[in-house]
Structure 1
Amino acid sequence: MKTKILIYISLALVCSGMLTACGRKEETTQPAMVPKDEYRVTLTDAQLRNAPVETRQLAAQPVAAVLKLNGKIDVPPQNIISVSTPLGGYLKSTRLLPGMKVTKGAVIAIVENPQFVQLQQAYLEAKSKLHFASLDYDRQKLLNQSQASSDKIMQQAQSEMNSQQILMNAVAQQLQLVNISPASVTPDNIRRSIPVYSSINGYVSKVNVNIGKYVNPSDILFELVNPDDIHLNLKVYEKDLEFLRPGLRLVAYTNTNPDKKYEGVVHLISRNVDAGGLAEVHCHFEKYDRDLIPGIYMNAEVQTETTLTHVLPEESVVEFEGKTYVFIEEKTKTYRLTPVTVGTMEKGFIQVLNDQDFSGKNIVTKNAYTLLMKLKNTEETTE
């Protein structure tokens, strides 16, 4: 019995030893799993020859900070002309349409009114009475000199002459208000219609009347705009006023055509802040463009004072999954994709805001996108 027990124990020990040996063999043959670094890429010598990689460290360079604003095209009040007629009347003719060019002194409408006839009649009557009063005064003056007429009669004649002179001059001024020259008014040349002239060189922005319509003296027939002093009226928040001053350069563009840039300069800065915390900035364009008409909404980028900041060439920065990165050289032929926070772009360089993360490090400045493609291809192959 003891012999059988010893045999069973021996067999158990042998089996146990075999199982342990097999376990150790499996452990030694299984390869160790090394986690892959998804942000590191290594190039071969052949790859470097086909796409040479250049590196550099951050460099300090003066960069102008950009303040982004928006506003509308506007013209100063003195360049917007509202056309009306002092006595009103019926619009007899006009050929104006919005957008049409006008020149100073050109006839833009004809207005008809019976009051024009009455004014010319009053002028001719006053002129005639003035002539008679002048003759009577000259006669009374001669009689007074020969003691044939009293001083009182001569003074009355002089007063009548002066009254008629005042009346004629007053009516003459009214005629000039309606563009009738008093010198042209004669008994044979009485007109019932008068011309309306353009007082500026510009274009028509509004037409508020039609032929046959009666207009009152307070009605505006047309609105004319002189574009010589067209400007950009920007809105700026109170907190940003300290960064602005007259003379700063800007670039403006519309939402419909953002690629077309209009250069300008800050001219005036309002010191009045409205209830919404906004102030107005008056800017002038360097060159007038006929496409810029009052009311157009525009965006503007104002270059504020330059500051010394760390920059990299724009080609150093790559975009990946909606974020910006640069490649840092870890060792020869090995580079790491590293997040970067960028700011202003100017003249081919881009501002690095988290510059402290790259102190003393070599950053790839050439073929950065080649490294990104290699990194992405490696990930896809691994998957």
Structure 2
Amino acid sequence: MRLLTYLSATLLFMSGCGQQNNTTPEEVAIDSNIVTLTEAQFKNAAITTGKVEQKQISTSLKLNGKIDVPPQNMISVSVPLGGYLKSTNLLPGMHIKKGQVIGTVEDQQYVQLQQDYLTAKTKINYLENEYNRQKDLNKSQASSDKIFQQSEADYRSQLVLISALKQKLAIAGINVNSISETKIIKSVNIYSPISGYVSKVNVNIGKYVTPTEVLFELIDPSNIHLALKVFERDLDKLYVGQFLLAYMNNEQGKKHKCKIMMIGKDLSEDRNTDVLCYFENYDQRLIPGTYMNAEIQVKNTPATAIPSEAIVEYEGKQFTFISKGKNTFEMVGVNTGENDNGYTAITFVNNSNIENQEFVFKGAYSLLMMIKNKEE
């Protein structure tokens, strides 16, 4: 019986010793936001440290706006005398050149206009001769002043009529030098006044159009610009000649370089104004009305900065780690500023001096996980 009791006591002692041997001799020791690593943990976390640096940090201003065209670059094409649209091959988005035939219109009034002009031109010879004859007769008192004045009025009235008909033909697009008694045209061509592209086609072949009706709408892309909305508080950060990068929401990887050409001088009710920017290389896929975003590097300011990867976020706040001795680190709150080229400007939340602190540059996230997991 005594032997059995001795063996039981021995087994219990050995079991207790076995439990003690399972305890790791080196463990993470924490105190609030302080963590101490073992040599193995320090090596596995690949932690590197360093001190803050004085960097020139660029401030980025983000804006939005849309592509716009000045009024003088939006052309509405109509026919001064109206008529039936005989032909056109225009489609929205089609590119055109200045002087290109974009449509043909015909109507009997063009025939009548040419007839009136040619008739008036033929009659002028008779009226001119009669005027000269009455002038000579009047000098010799062989004709009355009344008859001479009437012949002069008829002659000069005919000159006015010819001049007016000539201008009407020019407005209609008919060259008077290309018509004659045996050559009268019934249709006129419509020519593009600009080089650009077609915005709208409002008619179809065979339709009768009036002089006030717009057939085509054309856009000259030479002055297409990006109009950005800028609030009053940001106006002092911009200047004429400043460069920026613009992009569309669905093509954020495609950047378009622009240059500020004009800054508005009046503010809207929302306290903003338009800043006009021209594209250095205009992409013809960008059409007026398209909304775009823009980023502007507005200024370089000196700042105390550390690598951005040294800053971790937890519960909506920013933290970094500073060295407190061998393999011991403390998590401290920081205020972050602008970031540029992988560096972020910082200050301590408690406004402490950070110049001589040793910061964790790499491995900050691993330290955060060790602290929070241990707390849980």
TM-score, with structure 1 as normaliser: 0.80
**Structure 1 unpaired stretches of 5+:** 1-32
In structure 2, the partner of 1:28 is none
Does the aligned pair in 2 maintain the 1:91–1:111 contact within 8 Å? yes
Give the alignment partner of residue 288 of structure 1, picking from 282, 287, 291. 282
The corresponding residue for 1:53 is: 48
Query: Which whole-Å deviations, capped at 9, do the CAs of 1:83-117 have from their partners, x for residues lacking one?
Result: 11111222111111111000000001111222222
1: CA distance, partners of 2:194 / 2:240: 29
Range with bigger deviation, 253-262 or 302-311: 302-311
Q: How big is the shift at 1:277?
A: 2.9
The 2-side partners of 1:34 and 1:345 are apart by 34
Q: 1:316 aligns with which of 302, 310, 318?
A: 310
Tell me if structure 1 keeps the 8 A contact 2:56–2:300.
yes
**Deviation per CA, 1:17-64, whole angstroms, max 9, x where unpaired?**
xxxxxxxxxxxxxxxx975545636363795599361412141x3333
* Higher mean displacement: 147-156 or 327-336: 147-156
Aligned residues: CA RMSD:
3.1
Question: Bigger shift: 290-299 or 273-282?
Answer: 273-282
Shift of 1:187: 2.2
Confirm or deny that 1:92 pairs with 2:86.
Answer: yes
Counterpart of 1:362 (choices 347, 357, 366) is 357
**1:372 lines up with 2:365 in the alignment:** yes
Moved more, 271-280 or 293-302: 271-280
Q: Which amino acid aligns with 1:42?
A: L
| Corresponding position of 1:102 | 96
Q: Give SS of 1:218's match.
A: coil
Q: 1:299 aligns with which of 288, 293, 302?
A: 293
Over the matched positions of the two proteins, sequence identity in percent amounts to 43
Which of 17, 38, 44 pairs up with 2:39? 44
- Equivalences for 1:47-86 in 2 at 5 Å? 47-48=42-43, 51=46, 53-59=48-54, 61-86=55-80
2:328 to 334, 343, 347: 334
Distance in 1 of aligned mates of 2:224 and 2:173 = 29
**Which of 257, 268, 279 is the aligned partner of 1:263?**
257
Q: In structure 2, which of residues 245, 255, 268 is the aligned counterpart of residue 251 of structure 1?
A: 245
Correspondence for 2:206: 212
**Counterparts in 2 of 1:194 and 1:51: CA distance versus 1, 3 Å:** same
Q: Check 1:249–1:310 CA distance in 2 against 1; reply closer, same or farther (3 A cut).
A: farther
Structure 1 residue corresponding to 2:269, chosen from 238, 262, 275:
275
Q: Structure 2: how far apart are the matches of 1:113 and 1:310?
A: 78
- Which range moved further: 39-48 or 251-260? 39-48
Is this contact kept in 2: 1:319–1:325, CA < 8 A? yes
Query: Residue 134 of structure 1 is aligned with which of 104, 128, 147?
Result: 128
TM-score (norm 2): 0.81
Counterpart residue number, 1:169: 163
Preserved CA contact (<8 Å) 2:85 2:209: yes
CA contact under 8 A between 2:66 and 2:289: conserved in structure 1? yes
Deviation (angstroms), 1:299: 0.9
Q: Which digits, 9 at most, give the CA deviation of each residue in 1:213-258, with x for residues without a partner?
A: 2222121111111112211011122333333332222221111111
Change (3 A) 1:341 1:176: farther
Q: Taking structure 1 as reference, are residues 121 and 46 closer, same or farther at Cα in structure 2, changes over 3 Å only?
A: same
Contact 1:203 1:224 in 2 (8 A): yes
1:308 & 1:347 partners in 2: Cα distance?
14
Separation (CA, whole Å) in 1 of partners of 2:341 and 2:280: 21
Distance 1:343 1:300 in 2: 20
- Give the direction of change, closer, same or farther, for the CA distance of 1:47–1:190 in structure 2 (3 Å limit): same
Residue type at the aligned position of 2:344: I
- The question of 1:180 aligning with 2:174 is answered yes
- Label 1:324 to 1:254 Cα distance change in 2 as closer, same or farther (>3 A): farther
**Gaps in structure 2 of 5+ consecutive residues:** 1-27
Q: 2:338 aligns with which of 328, 333, 344?
A: 344
Secondary structure of the corresponding residue to residue 220 of structure 1: coil
Tell me by how many angstroms 1:363 deviates: 5.2
Distance 1:318 1:41, change over 3 A: farther
Q: Verify: 1:159 aligned to 2:153, yes or no.
A: yes
Name the aligned partner's letter for residue 335 of structure 1.
F
Aligned AA (1:344): E
Secondary structure at the residue paired with 2:254?
A: coil
